[in-house]
């Protein structure tokens, strides 16, 4: 994409952190979906955080795209969590009749990463010093 970056996808350990920085139209949203899914495969990500805190609207298409990303990611072995849905946006989504389906949500990036740590293990699995019952 040209111009100011609409989205960013960063790798952090075995996770990908995808942030949407501004309102996207459907074409851009679809491009984002393709980029992210492609990155999940390429980086063999185990967890994906999608940060939508900057979005003031998540309409049916955007919600549906997030669900699709989550489902495709699952087929590729990654857990997806959507973070940063604003209070008004959450209410509008529900009133519209949308949700994120099987995709989990968390309050913010920190909570999202904590969630991934719980379900797919810590970000740096190499350091297996943390003990615990197997």
- Distance in Å, CB of 41 to other proteins, minimum: 21
DSSP per-residue letters across 74-108: HHTT-EEEEE---HHHHHHHHHHT---TT-EEESS
Say how many residues touch other proteins, by CB under 8 A. 49
Q: Which of 2, 4, 75, 134 forms a contact with other proteins (CB under 8 A)?
A: 134
When asked if residue 49 is in the footprint of other proteins (CB under 8 A), the reply is no
Which of 24, 36, 50, 113 is the binder for other proteins (CB under 8 A)?
24
- Determine if 107 is a binding residue for other proteins (CB under 8 A): yes
- Which stretch in 3-11, 23-31, 32-40, 70-78 sits in contact with other proteins by CB under 8 A? 23-31
Cα–Cα distance, 15 to 30 (Å, whole number): 21
Out of 11, 56, 101, 102, the residue judged to bind other proteins by CB under 8 A = 56
Alpha helices, DSSP H only, in the chain? Answer: 26-43, 60-75, 87-96, 109-120
CA distance 91 to 1: 31
Q: Please state whether 18 falls in left (phi above 0), alpha (psi between -120 and 50) or beta.
A: beta
Using CB under 8 A, list all residues that contact other proteins.
23-28, 56-61, 64, 83, 85-100, 105-108, 111-112, 114, 117-119, 121-122, 125, 128, 130-134
């Amino acid at each position: 994409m040209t111009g100011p970056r609409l989205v960013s996808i960063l790798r952090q350990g075995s996770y990908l952190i995808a942030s949407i920085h501004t309102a996207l139209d459907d074409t851009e949203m679809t491009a984002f979906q393709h980029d992210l899914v492609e990155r999940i495969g390429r980086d063999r990500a185990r967890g994906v955080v999608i940060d939508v805190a900057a979005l003031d609207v998540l309409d049916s298409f955007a919600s549906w795209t997030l669900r699709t990303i989550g489902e495709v990611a699952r087929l590729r072995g990654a857990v997806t969590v959507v973070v940063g849905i604003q209070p008004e946006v959450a209410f509008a989504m529900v009133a519209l009749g949308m949700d994120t389906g099987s995709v989990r949500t968390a309050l913010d990036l920190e909570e999202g990463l904590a969630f991934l740590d719980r379900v797919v293990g810590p970000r740096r699995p190499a350091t297996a010093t943390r003990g615990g019952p197997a």
